[in-house]
Amino acid sequence: MSNSVFVLDTNKQPLTPCTSGMARSLLKAGKASVFRQYPFTIILKKAATKQEVKPCQLKLDPGSKITGIAILQENKLIWAAELAHRAQQIKNDLKSRRSLRRGRRDRKTRYRQPRFLNRTRGKGWLAPSLEHRVLTTMTWVRRLIKFCPISSIVMELVRFDTQKINNPEISGTEYQKGTLYQYKVREYLLEKFNRTCAYCGAKDTPLEVEHIKPKSKGGSNRVSNLTIACVPCNQAKSNLDIQVFLSDKPSVLNRILKQTLAPLKVRNAMPGKVLSSNGGRKLTRKPRQLPSSQENLTNAAAVNSTRTQLFNSLKRMGLPVTTGTGGQTKFNRTQQGLAKAHWLDAACVGDTPKLEIITNQPLLIKCSGHGKRQVIHVDKFGFPKLNKKGELVRKLALVKTVKGFETGDIVRAVVTKGKKVGSYLGKVAIRSSGSFNIKTVTETVQGISYKYCKQVHRQDGYVYGF
């Protein structure tokens, strides 16, 4: 059972969705043509007789990584999709851009001046990785309203208790006790400083908790004022200020001051972190996977941050918007014996009577972006790449289309002669010579002439599948 097919009249107004069999009959009889491939939509060639348009209901199950989307018509699930966000990719790209710009400043080369006086954040500001979740969800809500007669929207407005995730029995004043309350501070510091002396780097020796700013001079017992040190270094420092004790080691002083302010999560999650060790060698630590509990907290925080803004954006659409809780969604799903899936969770949001599942093949939508605006190729260190002639390797940035095709378009190529005879369906990468590359599900085929290509779907920043 596949998704229902969206139908538009001659004025591009949405009609009642039809079954895939009915859509095939209309296309075969020449009464309709394909308007859009994803989501599959047909448009009638002649004005149909006046018929009643049955209203549909759009349901959303917002998630940190995947948002479930479902369309119901009279308690029948006729269309479903799962929208995969790319928030982590956005975060990594921003980090990469920041490191490249800072690297140019440190090298005293031409660079973009840092801007800070015009960086005031308005009310309701969200980080780019969080705002992306709201914008992509709203994009698909607007898109579905154009293709389907949506009359109301239901959204799961869930609020996660991040402390209850770690401790289901928490209550009362226990909420006032942070994650480090009665925690073994010594073990925390050992993990944070890689079980080495912060001052000399000694390992496999007894280590003691050390106050960076001595208590005799007003230092506190906060974790940000504590480090770990071997017995000789601890005794040598005594009650000296750390600036005095490490006056002849400015690099060690800067490292300790930065490391004490960084949370444990950042230290463990930073890929390619250069760690000091005995003998002055530099070792590169592989990226460490965050524990599942930490990942759950991160995902819950993302949903908590975006839920209100998404709800307000939906209300501005002008359609009736209702909400449901996470517990209500789970109850509806278990009562009806449905499997755990994002699109089924979306169908069970809010008040849901007995569902009739018309489709069991949701459209899988993955955010891929619209590419980069970067003109010059760079290596992993941020330096421009040069070809064999010593010339800069430039990207095809100024030329947007070649022979009517654009990078990212989904095309079907039927090659009838040559070494690459066959049929290929996938995303195309254009070349100014007219010889394209096609990335299929299993491989990337290079050197396909534009003459064999036929456009199936224009690039829109998403990758589709079933």
| pLDDT at residue 269 in the model | 40
Residue that has been written with the tokens 């050992």 in this structure: 190
DSSP codes of every residue in 183-206 = --HHHHHHHHTTTS-TTT---SS-
Residue bearing the bigger pLDDT, 322 or 400: 322
Contacts of 446-452 spanning 24+ positions with Cβ under 8 A: 447/420, 448/413, 448/415, 448/420, 448/424, 450/402, 450/403, 450/405, 452/413, 452/414, 452/415, 452/416
Query: Which stretch of 42-51, 242-251, 353-362 has the lowest confidence by average pLDDT?
Result: 42-51
Q: Does residue 26 contact residue 39 with C-beta atoms inside 8 Å?
A: no
**Domain range list for the chain:** 5-86+126-161+297-367, 185-276, 401-461
Give the percent of the chain with pLDDT over 90.
32
Reported as a single tens digit per residue, the pLDDT across 210-264 is 898 888 888 888 888 888 999 999 999 888 888 889 988 888 888 888 888 777 6
Average pLDDT over residues 173-193: 68
pLDDT at 182 over 60: no
| pLDDT at residue 454 in the model | 92
Reported as a single tens digit per residue, the pLDDT across 131-171 is 999 999 999 999 999 999 999 999 988 665 666 666 677 77
| pLDDT at residue 286 in the model | 42
| pLDDT at residue 278 in the model | 35
Which amino acid type is present at position 274?
A: V
Reported as a single tens digit per residue, the pLDDT across 436-456 is 999 888 889 999 999 999 998
pLDDT at 381 over 80: no
CATH code at 185-276: 1.10.30
CA angle 236, 241, 242 (to 5 degrees): 75
Q: How far apart are CA 114 and CA 346, in angstroms?
A: 43
- Cβ-based neighbour number of residue 69 at 10 Å: 25
Residues in Cβ contact with 259 at an 8 Å cutoff, skipping those fewer than 6 apart:
192, 193, 198, 267
The whole-model pTM stands at 0.69
pLDDT at 401 over 80: yes
- Cβ-based neighbour number of residue 244 at 10 Å: 8
Give the percent of the chain with pLDDT over 70.
84
DSSP codes of every residue in 92-137 = HHHHHHHHHHHHHHHTT-S-PPP--TT----TT---HHHHHHHHHH
Query: Phi and psi for 73 in degrees, rounded to 5?
Result: -135, 110
pLDDT at 462 over 80: yes
Band the pLDDT of 293: cuts 50, 70, 90. low
- Superfamily designation of domain 5-86+126-161+297-367: ATPase, nucleotide binding domain (3.30.420.40)
| pLDDT at residue 142 in the model | 95
Residues in Cβ contact with 464 at an 8 Å cutoff, skipping those fewer than 6 apart:
38, 363, 364, 365, 366, 410, 457
Q: Does residue 83 contact residue 140 with C-beta atoms inside 8 Å?
A: yes
- What topology is assigned to 401-461 in CATH? SH3 type barrels. (2.30.30)
Which bin fits 294, alpha (ψ -120 to 50), beta or left (φ > 0)?
Answer: alpha
Of the chain, the end-to-end C-alpha distance in Å amounts to 12
